[in-house]
Structures are given as C-alpha cells and as structure tokens.
Amino acid sequence: MEINQVITKIKSENHGFYIIETSSFNLDAIEECIKNSFYKKQYEIDTSFINLAAEGGTKQISIEQIRKLKREFLHTNVLNISRVILISEINTLNNNSINALLKLIEEIPSNTFFIFCTSNLLKIPETIISRARLLRLNDYQDQSNLELLASDITNQNQNIPENVIQNIINPFLKLKKADFFESVKFFNKDQLDICSVIFLRILNFYLKLNFNNKKLYKYLCELHSSYIYDIDESIKFNTLTNDLIAIYFTRLNSNLIKYAK
C-alpha cells in the first residue's frame, strides 16, 4: 500500500494501535503524511502529535518517557484534536517501556492513535503484535503484479523449475482451489524462505487490492500476524516444515476465493 492509503485508513478509525512495516527510508514520509492528514495548523501539531524517540544519547525509549507520555500528553485533550503517538522503530523500546505501553494500549482513549513503525516484524514480541493492526508498505510497487511474480522469483532462483513456482502462484491469479501441499513439497528446507517470499508478496498484493473490503482486509491483516509469529517460532526451534507453509497458502487461497471481489 502507499503511505497516504495507510494513514487515511488509520484516520478513518475512532482510535487504535497500528504497526506499519516499512523500510527506513519511508519514515520521514510517514511522519509528514500523518501531519498533513491529521492536522491543519502548526499549533495542532505542537499540542497533539508526538514522535517518541530515545532521549539523552541512549538507544532505547525508557519507561520514564512512557510515564511522562501518559501523564502529560494522553490526559490533556481539551482541544479535541486527534492525538497521534508515532514511534519510528518499535525495537527502540526496552522491556519495561513495552510493559508500560501495553497497559496504555489496552484502553486507548477516543481520538488517540498509536502508530509504530518497524523494518523487521520478526523482532517484535508477540504481546505487541497480537494487540496491533498490521499494515504493510510495499516498497516494490512495480513488482506487485502477480503475473510478474513467477518470472521474478524464477530469475532469482535458477535452480527451481518455473512450473513449480507457477503451481503455487497460478491459483491466486485465477482464484481457484489448489493442493499446496503437493506444490510446496518440491522445495527443500533450505528453499522455504522462497516460499515465504511468495506468500508475503501474494498477501501484500491482495491487501492492496482489497483495501475497502473490510471483512477480507481484517482477515488478511490477522493472517499476516499469525504467519509471522508461527514462522518465527518454527525457525527459533528448528521445526519449520513444508506443511506449515502449505497450510498458510491454503488458508489464504480459500478465503480469497470466498471473500475477494
């Protein structure tokens, strides 16, 4: 999705906690888009927007900063302007500040938006991911067309036959059911990262395509979160299998057939 689509989607809600997966070069554009979308005057930005970052030469946001945020920012909204708390990288939070934030996120005040960015979802604790709405910025918009995905992946991985890759991607082009267990089994364990790339590219494509299909869009966000968590756990304990990835391809495929426009 484009940055302005993501911010427009967030602004349309009453309040919430969002994680934007993006590369570092998008961060300034995200902040600028938030300011332009949520606010009209500079005084509104000064009173109702905060880009929370580590202070005092440290690399992590402290628990004292979170307490100060709650005390001085969240409980003062006399102007009834949308309050936005932006964190450019979630991984600048230490364990104590994460725990403090979790308490705030459980009961987010009306007209208040927590927007956190990250370049690596795999490093984020599940306690954070499970509470957030995940939104992905596609840094490769020109490659998002699924018709180009098979040749793109094949060119990068000459040792995998093109028909094997096509058998995974074609069911999403035609939105027809397929046996992904049969297709994914041709990838050995060292090649499962390629399956992961294909899955996430297809998921991202349909997130963009179904931005206004609220039921499907919500499901795709939840599926993305579950996939990242399960893959991370499987890699951590060396239990990643073809079947696990095939299950996610099947879930994605069946729900797209059922709900996609």
pLDDT at residue 229 in the model? 92
Cβ(100)–Cβ(132) below 8 Å: no
- Domain stops at, among 78, 106, 136: 136
Q: Do 113 and 176 belong to one domain? A: no
- Domain stops at, among 136, 166, 199: 136
Between 71 and 237, the more confident residue is: 237
Q: Do 112 and 50 belong to one domain? A: yes
pLDDT digits (tens, 9 = 90+) for 226-259: 999 999 999 989 999 999 999 999 999 999 999 8
pLDDT digits (tens, 9 = 90+) for 61-70: 989 998 888 8
pLDDT digits (tens, 9 = 90+) for 129-181: 888 888 877 543 433 477 778 878 888 887 888 889 999 999 998 899 999 99
Cβ(217)–Cβ(5) below 8 Å: no
- Domain stops at, among 136, 151, 184: 136
Angle at 129 between CA 177 and CA 180, to 5 degrees: 15
List the CATH number of the domain containing 83. 3.40.50.300
Range of the domain at 105: 3-136
| Angle, in degrees to the nearest 10, between helices 192-209 and 214-236 | 160
Angle at 130 between CA 211 and CA 136, to 5 degrees: 35
Between 208 and 10, the more confident residue is: 10
